[in-house]
Amino acid sequence: MEEMEYYTIPKAAKVCGVGRTTMWRWVKSGNVKTAVTLGGQHRISKANLESFIAENQVYPLPSNISSKEKILIVDDDVQIQEVFTRMLSAHGYETDAASDGFDAGIKIMAFKPGVILLDLHMPGMDGFEVCKKVKENPTTAHIKILIITGYDSEENRGQAMGAGADDFLTKPVSGATLIEHVENLLPGLGKSMGGG
């Protein structure tokens, strides 16, 4: 078997942002399928681990701290992704974008944002569910979530904040307003970080 296609238990645990004990529990309960080497070592194939993450909507995040300068834009409208990217890039933020909740989970793992700009109404998993999952996972709960939606209502606002959102804005959003709200979510970031 090719070494690159398989994870050890500790490595798989790191990918999922959980402890080894939790990963062992998943393996023993049969939730995560493993292959056993001749030496009795458990190995988890990359495909098996990815399907487990997808099925259980695990929001994996390695233990390194999220970067305050990184902002993940989660919106199914590509034009909005591009507009927000331009606004944020102009202020020295690094951005990435996701079009749905599942894609957001993968990007959170790889990109490690400090802030997520989150649309509420998307295909598949909506923004409420994404928000809840991020905030309920101890490895991602520190990430700030700014809801940006075209559907402003008391109900949506209450449900979003109840799911753990840190702030709420209604589209359309001006660049100045967006930057102000992002900076309020990131105290101590300091404007001196950006050049000129």
What is the CATH classification number for the domain harbouring 32? Answer: 1.10.1660.10
The answer to whether residue 85 sits within a structural domain is yes
pLDDT at 59 over 60: no
Arithmetic mean of pLDDT, 115-126: 91
- Which residue, of 37, 56, 75, is where some domain finishes? 56
DSSP state, residue 66: P
- 37 plus 88 within the same structural domain: no
pTM flag (> 0.85): no
- 85 plus 50 within the same structural domain: no
User: Count of domains in the chain?
Assistant: 2
Confidence (pLDDT) at 196 = 33
- 128 plus 179 within the same structural domain: yes
Confidence (pLDDT) at 48 = 82
- 52 plus 130 within the same structural domain: no
Arithmetic mean of pLDDT, 187-192: 44
- 40 plus 101 within the same structural domain: no
The answer to whether residue 76 sits within a structural domain is yes
Full residue range of the structural domain in which residue 12 is found: 3-56
The answer to whether residue 157 sits within a structural domain is yes
The answer to whether residue 111 sits within a structural domain is yes
Which are the contacts of 134, defined by CB distance < 8 A and separation ≥ 6? 59, 108, 116, 140, 141, 143, 145, 164
Helix or strand or coil: residue 31?
coil
The answer to whether residue 35 sits within a structural domain is yes
- 89 plus 123 within the same structural domain: yes
Q: pLDDT tens digits for 133-176?
A: 999 988 888 899 999 999 999 999 999 999 999 999 999 999 99
What is the CATH classification number for the domain harbouring 154? Answer: 3.40.50.2300
**What average pLDDT does the chain have?**
84
Contact 151, 120 (CB under 8 A): yes
The answer to whether residue 61 sits within a structural domain is no
Q: Which of 7-11, 86-90, 191-195 has the lowest average pLDDT?
A: 191-195
Residue by residue, DSSP assigns 7-30 as E-HHHHHHHHT--HHHHHHHHHTT
Q: How far apart are the first and last CA of the chain?
A: 52
Confidence (pLDDT) at 76 = 94
pLDDT at 191 over 70: no
Q: How confident is residue 35, by pLDDT bands cut at 50, 70 and 90?
A: confident
